[in-house]
């Protein structure tokens, strides 16, 4: 019985090792396949959204950009060099240019529909020297950023004078739930989409810890695809400046 027992254990050990050798490539292949499918779905979602904007929503988004710029146009210096961070389609380029400003759109993806050229970056370090811009504008994009604190450190570094932040707001838990659902619908994005939404007080705490003070604030409602959106326009200055 002894020799047969030893052989049996040895065979089991060999079979176990062989199984591990076969399973590792299988798991790697499955992970790669899942990631490939996920990337394909995200690409499809982006292209679908680009098509919706191009053929159905461009007029609405142009009017919305003009309205939002009116909220902060008196708060920023004349003839400013402006970084439109996460500006995507570039709808704010025309309203800003009309007011005598020079703007540059910086984003992590190049949209299929563009109103202005887009400079691409990796989403972490803004590829410009310290103090390159008079003003940085972030319109309903910070809640999509995985590390908003890190990005805001970069914003502080490249901005000389003021930061304009436009964000969706909510008042309670149900409002947060509805804000997330609405954001997913409007962005046609249901995979790997951060939702860093905050209340007004939550944003103000965030600004304070990031080294900014609020110099101006306006809240307003917009409508998009029949959905009512509460938003706030914050004009920020560096603390101690």
Q: Are 163 and 80 in contact (CB under 8 A)?
A: no
Handedness of CA 28, 31, 37, 41 (dihedral sign): negative
37 has pLDDT over 90: no
Q: What is the pLDDT confidence band of residue 150, given thresholds at 50, 70 and 90?
A: very high
So what's the pLDDT on residue 17?
A: 47
Number of H helices, E strands in the chain: 6, 7
Measured between alpha carbons, how far is 160 from 240 in angstroms, rounded to an integer? 13
- Residue 161's nearest CA partner among 100, 76, 71, 70 is 76
Query: Does 94 score more than 50 pLDDT?
Result: yes
In DSSP terms, which residues pair with 168 in a beta bridge? 231
pLDDT at residue 19 is higher than 90: no
Kindly indicate the confidence band of residue 27, based on its pLDDT and cuts at 50, 70 and 90. low
pLDDT band, very low/low/confident/very high, at 148 (cuts 50, 70, 90): very high
φ and ψ of 106, to 5 deg: -125, 130
Higher pLDDT pick, 198 / 227: 198
Q: What percent of the chain is predicted at pLDDT more than 70? A: 87
Which of these, 80, 69, 95, 96, lies nearest to 134 by C-alpha position? Answer: 80
Q: Which pairing describes strands 133-139 and 159-168: parallel, antiparallel, or unpaired?
A: parallel
Q: Which two tokens stand for residue 238?
A: 């560096």
Q: What pLDDT does 233 receive? A: 98
Confidence (pLDDT) at 61:
95
Q: Is the pLDDT of residue 20 over 70?
A: no
- pLDDT computed for residue 40 by the predictor: 82
Distances from the Cα of 128 to the Cαs of 5, 76, 119, 120, 158, in angstroms?
70, 21, 11, 12, 7
Give pTM, 2 decimals: 0.84
Residue owning tokens 């380029």? 93
What is the distance between the terminal CA atoms of the chain, rounded to a whole angstrom?
86
For residue 75, the SS3 value is: helix
Domain ranges of the chain: 38-238
Query: What's the angle, vertex CA 231, arms to CA 229 and CA 235, rounded to 5?
Result: 165
Task: Work out the pLDDT band at 168, boundaries 50, 70, 90.
Answer: very high
Predicted local distance difference test score (pLDDT) of residue 78: 97
> What pLDDT band is residue 241 in, cutting at 50, 70 and 90?
low
The per-residue pLDDT for 142 is 97
Q: Which two tokens stand for residue 172?
A: 């309670």
- Residues 198, 209: contact at Cβ < 8 Å? no
Helices of type H across the chain: 2-52, 58-72, 93-98, 148-158, 173-187, 200-209
**pLDDT, position 115:** 95
User: What pLDDT band is residue 212 in, cutting at 50, 70 and 90?
Assistant: very high
The answer to whether domain 38-238 has CATH 2.40.10.170 is no
Asked which of 10-19, 65-74, 94-103, 175-184 is least confident by mean pLDDT, the reply is 10-19
């Amino acid at each position: 019985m002894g020799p047969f027992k030893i052989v049996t254990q040895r065979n089991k050990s060999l079979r176990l090792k062989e199984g591990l050798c076969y399973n590792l490539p299988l798991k790697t292949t499955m992970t790669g396949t899942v990631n490939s499918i996920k990337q394909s779905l995200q690409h499809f979602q982006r292209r679908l959204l680009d098509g919706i904007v191009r053929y159905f929503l461009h007029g609405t988004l142009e009017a919305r950009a003009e309205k939002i710029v009116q909220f902060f146009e008196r708060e920023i210096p004349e003839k400013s060099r402006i970084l439109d961070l996460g500006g995507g389609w570039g709808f704010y380029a025309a309203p800003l240019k009309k007011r005598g400003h020079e703007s540059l759109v910086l984003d992590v993806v190049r949209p299929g529909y563009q109103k202005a050229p887009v400079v691409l970056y990796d989403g972490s370090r803004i590829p410009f020297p310290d103090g390159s811009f008079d003003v940085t504008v972030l319109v309903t994009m910070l809640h999509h950023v995985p590390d908003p604190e890190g990005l805001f450190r970069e914003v502080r570094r490249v901005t000389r004078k003021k930061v304009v932040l436009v964000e969706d707001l909510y008042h309670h838990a149900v409002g947060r739930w509805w804000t997330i659902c609405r954001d997913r619908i409007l962005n046609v994005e249901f995979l790997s989409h951060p939702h860093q939404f905050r209340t007004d007080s939550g944003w103000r705490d965030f600004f304070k810890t990031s080294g900014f003070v609020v110099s101006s604030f306006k809240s307003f409602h917009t409508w998009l695809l029949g959905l009512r959106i509460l938003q706030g326009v914050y004009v920020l200055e560096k603390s101690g400046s």
